[in-house]
Amino acid sequence: MLNNKVINIAAIFSLLVLLFLDKYLALPIPFWAYGLPLLIFLPPTIHGAMNIEAGFFMKVWCKADTTEKVVALSFDDGPDAIYTPQILDILQQQEVPAAFFCIGKNIRGNEHLLKRIYADGHVIGNHTYSHDFWFDMKLSGNMLTDMQQMDAVTVHATGLTPRLFRPPYGVTNPNLARAVKAGNYLPVGWNIRSLDTVAKDETELLNRILERLTPGAVILLHDTRKITADILPQLIQGIRQQGYQLERIDKMLKVRAYV
């Protein structure tokens, strides 16, 4: 499997080969050739950082290993005072469990929504406290502190300590891998990205998700978007019409949701 360790070894090995040819065999090595290790390193590393399914820096649970027609809904970035209640109402009416990867700073003032998420049978996951744009540039210790802040407000509101963690924007790197390991989190991604944060057309959004359904799929949505609340009943109906059952993410992945 192509991952960070393999790429690092390949880049270092190629550099050592160039140095050996230059120093010990006295072969004429053009200056540009020393850029080859960088070319080996950068493209897959950037792709791995931006593509959570790659599992490049750490193993991330992005789908269930199953042939059963089950999928899981997950919602990021809440709780939101306007749209989270609407989404919870729809899920309750349709008897559908889901996962909510919450931002800690959004919990303050919305503790009642966090309590309802759990009371309604859904899972609460950690999506950091700040969801800072520069989160990925932090040192691992600072990342861990941010993640633990989210845990603290969740514990205060519900008594629960989330184990499931979803990185902001789905970006991973070595510092995050260290923070996840130090905090004993289970990183969870997705394999169907709805793009509901930028979607304008409801039909296109629905089709994008429904056309990508596969057994064990994890669907990424956001409970901060009007379009998501608007299409959710049709999405649930469309999923069921294709013969799929909607399962809670921790049960589908067969993992423990809380510490």
Could you give the residue ranges of the DSSP H alpha helices within 212-257? 226-241, 249-253
Residue at token pair 């057994």: 215
Radius of gyration of the CA atoms of the chain, in A: 21
Q: Is the confidence at residue 236, as pLDDT, over 60? A: yes
**Active-site choice (76, 77, 80, 196):** 76
The helix (H) or strand (E) run that includes residue 100 is strand 98-102
* pLDDT, mean of residues 225-234: 98
Q: Model confidence at 95, in pLDDT bands (50, 70, 90)?
A: very high
The pLDDT assigned to 24 comes to 60
Q: Terminus-to-terminus CA distance in the chain, angstroms?
A: 30
* pLDDT, mean of residues 186-212: 98
Q: Model confidence at 201, in pLDDT bands (50, 70, 90)?
A: very high
Query: Which pair of structure tokens corresponds to residue 123?
Result: 């899972």
* 131 phi/psi in degrees, rounded to 5: 50, 40
The pLDDT assigned to 138 comes to 96
The pLDDT assigned to 209 comes to 98
Q: What are the pLDDT digits (tens) for 28-77?
A: 767 666 566 566 556 676 777 778 988 889 999 999 999 999 999 999 99
Architecture of domain 70-253: Alpha-Beta Barrel (3.20)
Q: Is 112 a catalytic residue?
A: no
Percent of the chain surpassing pLDDT 90: 78
Q: Model confidence at 200, in pLDDT bands (50, 70, 90)?
A: very high
* pLDDT, mean of residues 200-225: 98
Query: Which pair of structure tokens corresponds to residue 197?
Result: 């944060």
Q: What are the pLDDT digits (tens) for 102-116?
A: 999 999 999 999 999
Domain with CATH 3.20.20.370 in the chain: 70-253
CA–CA gap between residue 154 and residue 5 (Å, rounded): 35
Q: What are the pLDDT digits (tens) for 56-69?
A: 899 999 999 999 99
- DSSP class of residue 75 equals E
**Active-site choice (122, 127, 222, 223):** 222
Say if CB 102 and CB 114 are below 8 A apart. yes
Q: Is 151 a catalytic residue?
A: no
The pLDDT assigned to 56 comes to 84
